[in-house]
Amino acid sequence: MSSNKPGPKKRRLLKKGKENKRVPAWVMQRTNRRFTRHPKSRNWRRDDLDE
């Protein structure tokens, strides 16, 4: 992908990049490690964005 992207697409990519984080440790502790994986997590190479 080129480095010259349209502004709205760049904003969507930034938002998805911020969402792509692990579950906080206190959530894992509170739920007895039932939630170890974030449902919104994705790999930048493997998973495509629904745009």
Question: Along the 51 residues of the chain, how does pLDDT read in single tens digits?
Answer: 678 999 999 999 999 999 999 999 999 999 999 988 888 899 989 998 876
Give the global pTM.
0.66
Residues 6+ apart with CB under 8 A from 40: 19, 20
pLDDT at 1: 60
One DSSP character per residue, 1-36 reads --S---HHHHHHHHHHHHH--PPPHHHHHHTTTS--
pLDDT at 51: 62
Task: Give domain limits for the chain.
Answer: 1-40
pLDDT at 28: 92
